[in-house]
């Protein structure tokens, strides 16, 4: 999602951005400030003797969150040295995590058995978000190629979709695959807004959220009134779709950052649009990409505001802030992995962090 170039834009927008109009703001939506949390003590990430148990960076705001920290787990920094990490996706059959380093135009591979990180693909087409389809293939958002691509079993990279009604996509950002094999993705303009994370160009389409049906070879707009649609994920039963709007980092309307939720009906029709969580009480806080766990909790990578909010924020299905994992870098994306899908991998600025948690993630 982000780039260093957009930090100056964020400072200029400030907290005076206009609110989101036309939505039903009710139910679990929150506008007040979330718990600020505290800054954990500094640690030497290369020295395991500096670890404190339980890890002070794992913060509990609500008693429901306490069970997710066993007390004998700690955060590890398993890689550092990128420019901006994004799009982590777990490949259990390889014992590996793939993730993007967008400005360096590459996808990297961290092997959990050897603990080594190697280059998986370069150039990558400035890939941002990644996921796996139900056949286990890598599906990627190429900001440079302005397309959704798929890596076949034999290594070939094919275009899934790159246009809508004869016009080029902007720069696909986040992508998920539903159990019916449909591909859902967001299409903001971060990748064409400059030369840092893609190729500068003028947008040809609004900043839409799309659904691609491979059986019909049909691309459709599921929602089109976002300022900057970013991360997205389904609830465990796929009856709800969460989408973050990071319009405060650009877009036609500098809206406060928030998460919206929709009911998912037949043939991908969305209804009952409402605000799940509104961060306007936190000034410039950004909730970037998201994943859900087996209990339906929403795990959001983010930051950009107070340093104590960098890392991960977790929300109950009713929108209540449950807790946080505070990191020294801004969180951009995350995924669950490991043998039991209980290991949380966090792409945060220049690094990748990992921690075992007391729940299992739902992947797509």
φ, ψ of residue 15 in degrees (nearest 5)? -90, 5
Nearest C-alpha neighbor of 167 from the set 108, 127, 219: 219
Give the alpha-carbon dihedral of 268, 213, 291, 73, to 10 degrees: 140
Tell me if 320 sits within 8 A of 28, measured CB to CB: yes
Nearest C-alpha neighbor of 337 from the set 181, 68, 135, 112: 112
Q: Which residue stretches of the chain have pLDDT < 70?
A: 1-32, 251-256, 281-284, 364
d(CA 231, CA 175): 8
Q: In this predicted structure, what is the pLDDT of residue 255?
A: 60
d(CA 304, CA 2): 10
Where are the domains positioned within the chain?
4-362
User: Does the bond joining 10 to the residue before it have cis omega, within 30 degrees of 0?
Assistant: no
d(CA 258, CA 280): 8
Q: In this predicted structure, what is the pLDDT of residue 285?
A: 79
Domain 4-362 = CATH 3.40.630.20 = no
d(CA 113, CA 124): 25
d(CA 310, CA 286): 9
3-state per-residue secondary structure call for the chain: CCCHHHHHHHHHHHHHCCCCCCCECCCCCCCCCCCCCCCCCCCCCCCHHHCCCCCCCEEECCHHHHHHCCCCCCCEEEEECCCCEEEEEEEHHHCEEEEEECCCCEEEEEECCCCEEEEEECCCCCEEEEEECCCCCEEEEECCCCEEEEECCCCCEEEEECEECCEECCCCCCEEECCCCCEEEECCCHHHCCCCCCCCCCCCCCCCEEEEECCCCEEEEEECCCCCEEEEEECCCCCEEEEEECHHHCCCCCCCCEEEEEEECHHHCEEEEEEEEECHHHCCCEEEEEEEECCCCEEEEEECCCHHHCEEEEECCCCCEEEEEECCCCEEEEEEECCCCCEEEEEECCEEEEEECCCCEECC
Q: In this predicted structure, what is the pLDDT of residue 13?
A: 32
Q: In this predicted structure, what is the pLDDT of residue 253?
A: 65
Nearest C-alpha neighbor of 142 from the set 127, 158, 121, 161: 127
**Within a 10 A sphere around the Cβ of 195, how many other Cβ atoms?**
11
CA distances, 119 to each of 138, 206, 363 (Å) = 15, 34, 24
CA distances, 98 to each of 76, 77, 91, 121, 256 (Å) = 17, 15, 7, 10, 31
Tell me if 45 sits within 8 A of 28, measured CB to CB: no
Q: In this predicted structure, what is the pLDDT of residue 29?
A: 57
DSSP line for 73-104: ---EEEEE--SSEEEEEEEGGGTEEEEEETTT
Tell me if 298 sits within 8 A of 269, measured CB to CB: no
Give the total residue count for the chain.
364
């Amino acid at each position: 999602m982000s780039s260093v170039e957009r930090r100056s834009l964020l400072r200029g927008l400030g907290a005076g951005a206009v609110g989101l109009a036309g939505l039903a703001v009710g139910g679990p939506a929150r506008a007040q400030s979330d718990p600020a949390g505290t800054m954990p003590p500094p640690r030497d990430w290369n020295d395991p003797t500096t670890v404190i148990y339980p890890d002070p960076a794992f913060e509990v705001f609500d008693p429901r969150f306490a069970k997710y920290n066993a007390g004998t787990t700690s955060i590890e920094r398993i890689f550092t040295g990128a420019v901006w990490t994004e799009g982590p996706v777990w490949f259990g059959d390889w014992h590996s995590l793939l993730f993007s380093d967008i400005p360096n135009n590459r996808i990297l591979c961290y092997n959990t058995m050897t603990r080594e990180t190697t280059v998986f693909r370069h150039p990558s087409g400035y890939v941002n978000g990644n996921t796996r389809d139900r056949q286990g293939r890598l599906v990627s958002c190429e900001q440079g190629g302005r397309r959704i691509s798929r890596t076949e079993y034999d290594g070939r990279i094919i275009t899934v979709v790159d246009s809508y009604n004869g016009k080029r996509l902007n720069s696909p950002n986040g992508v998920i695959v539903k159990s019916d094999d449909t591909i859902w993705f967001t299409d903001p303009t971060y990748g064409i807004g400059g030369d840092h994370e893609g190729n500068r160009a003028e947008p040809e389409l609004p900043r839409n959220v799309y659904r691609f049906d491979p059986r019909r070879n049909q691309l459709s707009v599921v929602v089109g009134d976002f300022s900057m649609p970013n991360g997205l994920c389904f609830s465990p039963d796929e009856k709800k779709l969460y989408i973050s709007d990071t319009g405060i980092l650009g877009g036609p309307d500098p809206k406060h950052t928030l998460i919206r939720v929709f009911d998912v009906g037949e043939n991908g029709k969305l209804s009952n649009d409402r605000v799940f969580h509104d961060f306007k009480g936190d000034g410039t806080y950004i909730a970037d990409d998201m994943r859900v766990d087996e209990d339906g909790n929403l795990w959001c990578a983010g930051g950009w505001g107070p340093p104590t909010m960098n890392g991960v924020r977790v929300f109950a299905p009713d929108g209540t802030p449950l807790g946080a994992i505070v990191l020294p870098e801004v969180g951009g994306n995350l995924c669950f992995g490991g043998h039991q899908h209980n290991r949380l991998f966090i792409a945060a600025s220049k690094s990748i962090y990992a921690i075992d948690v007391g729940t299992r993630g739902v992947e797509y």
